[in-house]
Amino acid sequence: MAGWSWGWSPNDESAAGSWLQAIYLGFLTGGTSAVKPTTPRWSDRLRRQATIAISDAPHPCVRDGVASLATTDMQHLHGDVLESVVERVPAPDLAAAALVSREWLRAVRAALRRRMLRLPWLVVHVIHLRGQRRLAAAYDPRSGAWLAVPTAPPARHGATSPPQPHSHVRLMRGASGDRVCALSLSGLAVARDALGMDDDALVVALKAPGVWRVDPVLAAVGDRVVAMGGACQLALGDGEDTSAVEVHERGGWTHCGAVPAALRESAAAAATWLSTAATDQRVYVADRATGTASWFDPAKQQWGPTSRLRPDAAVSTWGLAAGRAGAEKIILFGVKHADSRVVIRSWELDGDSLSLSHGAAAAHDTMPSEMSERLFPHGDDGEEETSSLSIGVCGNTAGGYVYNAAVPATGAVLYELRRGGVEGGGVERWAWVACAPVVAEAEALGRVILACSPVGLHELADERLAH
């Protein structure tokens, strides 16, 4: 059975049971997991119907490759069989599946843990500046589908979230996943994840940094928030620098000097010219053009070594992302022109020294050429060799996404990191991700923010994702 596509109506009393029956049948007969109901969520009546019987026999049998299903209660599924069935439930419907019983809830949580350990979701926010509207979508790497993220109009004056219109929405890097935030003169509102900030209960309101910033690097490291560079030149006081660093902890902001001299010029427009990655202990920054990099420890309020990362001198643009779990590793991405082709490579770095990991000095992982060419398509005027290549990266310890930062509508490439201490490079798999419809339809003056984050049961239960 090459792919399930089964639709149902909320008026059909047996819909939920039939839906689970279709999943179970696919499990028994080797079908794929792509069961996609056409209705975004279950009603309470359909949730109760999730226990409809599908087989009288204690063990369903298969005759001629087809399962014999009748009226056994779905709650009779246990252990590995139940977990295998739950693995095939589409992500937006896991919250409803968790209501069947406590054992189903445990199976759903186990399935989510396995999914989150694999790959984060890609979240796209499109800011329409004219109407101050925000549209969002999330990509589930397991099903390969884009899901809509409901959004609300910008908050009116006096509301707590967000404090300003959508034009103030920014991205905050984090070890556990990126977050969306809104920065204004009056404060910094931080969402708990990358999906959005339309619910006041899901937002933490902080004081605004002491230095007014228009294009800063923002990162969450443990219970601290780091604001770096991007200060407004006209608003600076005596002795203040556009590359100033502040750390928020225990309810207030602390000034921590400026970024290293080698990064100071690019830190004036930090979010534009610096690529950023965050781990549980540090914020890593690298100049996109030169590859000059360093790290900052907000707990100790000190900088690490500054190094020029150029394992390939021909690379024109660099990007950083978090590396493998269990080690302070960083993945460095580079893009270049070579033999009339666009080449994208990655290297694994030691986080302490910012040097290539042991065994990786002569090794790298190269994105398949058909994917890199789709990210940066050749023009018809023959000027591709001189055109600018701007790479963007977002990821966590399991993997992430590489995209064309100048033209996000071209799509993205998913990368999955190797598990364990494998010598030489860190990427195990690449996969193409088609452009989200909300990006393809964005207006020319709009702004696109790409982030990645694990998606858990609380996001699904809040019905923040829809088919």
Query: Please, where in the chain does CATH 2.120.10.80 lie?
Result: 119-461
Residue 399 contacts residue 414 (beta carbons within 8 Å): yes
| Closest to 464 (Cα-Cα) out of 160, 148, 155, 152 | 148
What is the per-residue pLDDT for 1? 35
Which among 92-106, 169-183, 430-444 has the top mean pLDDT?
169-183
Range from 354-358, 429-433, 441-445 that averages highest in pLDDT:
429-433
pTM of the model: 0.76
| Residue 261 pLDDT class (50, 70, 90 cuts) | very high
Average pLDDT on 142-162 reads 64
Task: Give 223-249 pLDDT, tens digit per residue.
Answer: 999 999 988 877 777 767 889 999 999
Measure Cα distances from 331 to 25, 236, 307, 458 in Å. Answer: 41, 35, 15, 30
Q: What is the largest CA-CA distance in the chain?
A: 82
State the average pLDDT over residues 210-215: 89
Q: How far is CA 464 from CA 139, 166, 345, in A?
A: 13, 18, 35
Rounded to a whole number of angstroms, the CA Rg of the chain reads: 24
Counting Cα atoms < 13 Å in the Cβ hemisphere of 346 gives: 33
Which one is the CATH code of 119-461: 2.120.10.80, 2.20.25.10, 1.10.3720.10, 2.40.50.140?
A: 2.120.10.80
**Residue partners of 204: CB distance under 8 A and separation at least 6:** 189, 190, 192
